[in-house]
Chains A and B, each alone.
Chain A
Amino acid sequence: MSDMKKKNSKTKYAKSGPLLLIAAPGIIYLLINNYIPMFGIFLAFKKFSYKKGVWGSPWNGFDNFKFLFQTKDALIMTRNTILYNLAFIVIGTIIAITIAIFLNALGDSIRTKFFQSALLLPNLMSWVIIAYMVFAFLNSDSGFINNTILKALGKKEIAWYMESKYWPFILTFVQMWKNAGYQSIIYLAAIAGIDKSVYEAASLDGASKVQQIFRITLPMLKPTVIILTLMAVGRIFFSDFGLFYQVPMNSGAVYSTTQTIDTYVYRGLMELNDVGMSAAAGLFQSLLGFIIVVSANALVRKIDSDNALF
């Protein structure tokens, strides 16, 4: 009987109705939250005004894009988005692997637990809180750096929120502070998965710890690094809105190094009321993002089809 049942279930589908019903709330939500806006990209080809509404506003072809790419903003925000992402990928990977290797070296101890907890904690903070912390260090009246460090060094105070040249370093540091511990989790898991006997054999042959890292650990991590990097590259046109909007406290003086596509879209929509241009920038981002994520995946599949997303 049970054999027959098994045979049947292989050829026969389950009733779809009840299963679809269970999935329905999720399907409806995704349709509304994710799919309807996909069709809303036509807003990028309209001269939008709130008075006339979504349907009543006149079409204006590619005018929004023309205006967008005539401004310096388009170049600046695209450059910033890509360069920050590249910096985050390179530096982030190095730091995360370093942390993972050291954590692994300490084994399963209380020390390891403490270090990992401490390094992971920043990841749980909101960007608003992080902006407060950065403010505590950087603000010109009462900031720790101006009042304590620069004073001790006998240097002049710096108006951090007014000077754009410092922000690439500040934002990269903050991003690493928030995410390095989180990223290291994945690498730590990958290192834990490496066969211990390989290290034992290397030890017997007299390989030092440092040699083992460079000859065993790092080569073994290569697939993980490649996959995670390609996944990050797939998101290269997207930035973390909180990092670039909240941490510089929306300071106009530093836009040249803090403006990304995401902050531009927000400002266009909510502050400048330039809906058409903002929609154009958004569509530009979505399309490039789509192309690059599909290409990145094609690459992953070529290297290691098990890890391809699709």
Chain B
Amino acid sequence: MVNMKKKLMASDTKIFKIVSTIILGLLALVALLPIILIVIASFTDETTLLRNGYSFFPEMWSADAYVYMIQQGSTIFRAYGISILVTIIGTVVSVLITTMIAYPMSRRNFKYKNALAFFVFFTMLFNGGVVPSYMMWTQVFQIKNTLWALIIPNYLCGAFNIFLVRNYYANSIPEALIESAQIDGASELTIFFKIIFPLAVPTVATISLFTALIYWNDWVNALYYIQKPQYYGIQNLLIRIMNNIQYLKSGAASVAVGTGAISLPSNAVRMSMAVIGILPIVVIYPFVQKYFVKGVVVGAVKG
């Protein structure tokens, strides 16, 4: 009887595993199909696209879109460069500011610890909204049509990341370490840069990842503050091309003269642009997924 029950249980577990695999497999397929579709579409021959639309099994393959992009590349390379630059500067500055403000908040004997925590926390509860901050950045700081507009507004230092780092300091770095450094005569600044920051590497990795993703994927700042296309990063170039595929042509017209212009494979080019936009993310994804998952779990545990 007991034996039979055990067998039943074992088969029950087995069946459940099979069901799980099937359902998760289907969901994973749904998650990946749109990405697969744009990759295939970008390698599809333009006349095939015109006749059959985007499809998972194109009649004719072609790399024309990519050839075209390389030939007309200056606009794209420029936007790519801006995205990379903005992502690097934004992430480095953000991580520095965030880890710095989090440090005093983690010190038990800092007089204004709670006041500072509330100061940071209140930004999660209330905000002035888009209009006042737009007026401030454009009218007071004159940030329109500068690279600063892509870096400074909104993303440099957020409460979520500050609390993430503060909690890490408070839980993982022993107070005694700071005290002994103080006895040795180290200043707070030295303590922060020589002891605290190096010890915080795991959490720095996590917030760097979050922040870099935000900058790479951002298009909203440019939507508000950039009107000159020469300051567009890759995301805003993508928006522009979606609205007006001819832009790619006109933007690099001078370069293309005399190269024997290929007619613009517009449907395929659109998708190849999107593929190029997600390429960096897909490439680094396997290496950073671990930190990403960890960060989400830690962040959820309480700010």
Task: Report A's interface with B, CB cutoff 8 A.
Answer: 5-6, 9-10, 12-16, 18-23, 25-27, 29-30, 32-41, 43-44, 53-54, 98-99, 102-103, 105-106, 111, 114-122, 124-137, 141-144, 146-148, 177, 180-182, 185-186, 189, 203, 206, 208-210, 228, 241-242, 246, 249, 262, 265-266, 269-270, 275, 278-279, 282-283, 285-286, 289-290, 293-294, 306-307, 309-310
Contacts and interface: CB of A to CB of B under 8 A. Distances in A.
B16 A209 contact: yes
Interface stretch (B84-92, B234-242, B256-264): B234-242
Interface string B72-103: 00000000000000000000000011101111
Given A19-B103, A106-B20, 15 more contacts: A6-B179, A21-B189, A27-B116, A30-B120, A103-B24, A105-B16, A111-B24, A122-B34, A132-B38, A132-B273, A133-B34, A185-B296, A228-B300, A242-B219, A285-B129
A33 B153 contact: yes
A148 B41 CA distance: 14
B95 to A, nearest CB: 11
B28 interface: yes
Contacts of A307: 302
B107 to A, nearest CB: 6
Interface string B153-182: 110110000100000000000010001000
Contacts of A126: 216-219, 235, 277
B200 to A, nearest CB: 13
Pairs A-B, 4 closest by C-beta atoms: A40-B132, A26-B101, A147-B53, A282-B129
B100 A23 contact: yes
B97 A40 contact: no
Interface in B8-27: 9, 12-13, 15-17, 19-21, 23-25, 27
B174 to A, nearest CB: 12
B189 A119 contact: no
Nearest to A181: B31
A122 B83 CA distance: 20
A64 B152 CA distance: 30
What does DSSP make chain B's interface, helix, strand, loop or mixed? helix
Interface residues of B, number: 108
B294 to A, nearest CB: 9
B281 A125 contact: yes
B125 A294 contact: yes
Contacts of A283: 129
A275 B154 CA distance: 20
A32 B127 CA distance: 12
Nearest to A192: B297
Contacts of A137: 34, 37, 54
Contacts of A136: 34, 37-38, 41, 54, 271
Contacts of A210: 16
Most buried by A among B53, B123, B216: B53
Nearest to B51: A147
Most buried by A among B35, B128, B235: B128
Contacts of A16: 110-112
Given A21-B189, A34-B127, A118-B32, A203 B9 contact: yes
B136 A36 contact: yes
B92 to A, nearest CB: 13
A286 to B, nearest CB: 5
Contacts of A310: 121
A142 B51 CA distance: 8
13 contacts: A5-B179, A10-B109, A14-B188, A19-B103, A26-B102, A33-B157, A44-B131, A119-B31, A120-B293, A147-B54, A180-B27, A209-B15, A265-B131
B281 to A, nearest CB: 5
A60 to B, nearest CB: 15
A128 B37 CA distance: 16
B278 to A, nearest CB: 5
Contacts of A10: 109
B155 to A, nearest CB: 9
A294 B125 CA distance: 8
B135 interface: yes
A16 B273 CA distance: 52
B267 interface: yes
Interface in B29-46: 30-32, 34-35, 37-38, 41
Nearest to A261: B129
Contacts of B242: 131-132, 135, 249
A27 B112 CA distance: 13
A279 B131 contact: yes
Nearest to A102: B20
B139 to A, nearest CB: 6
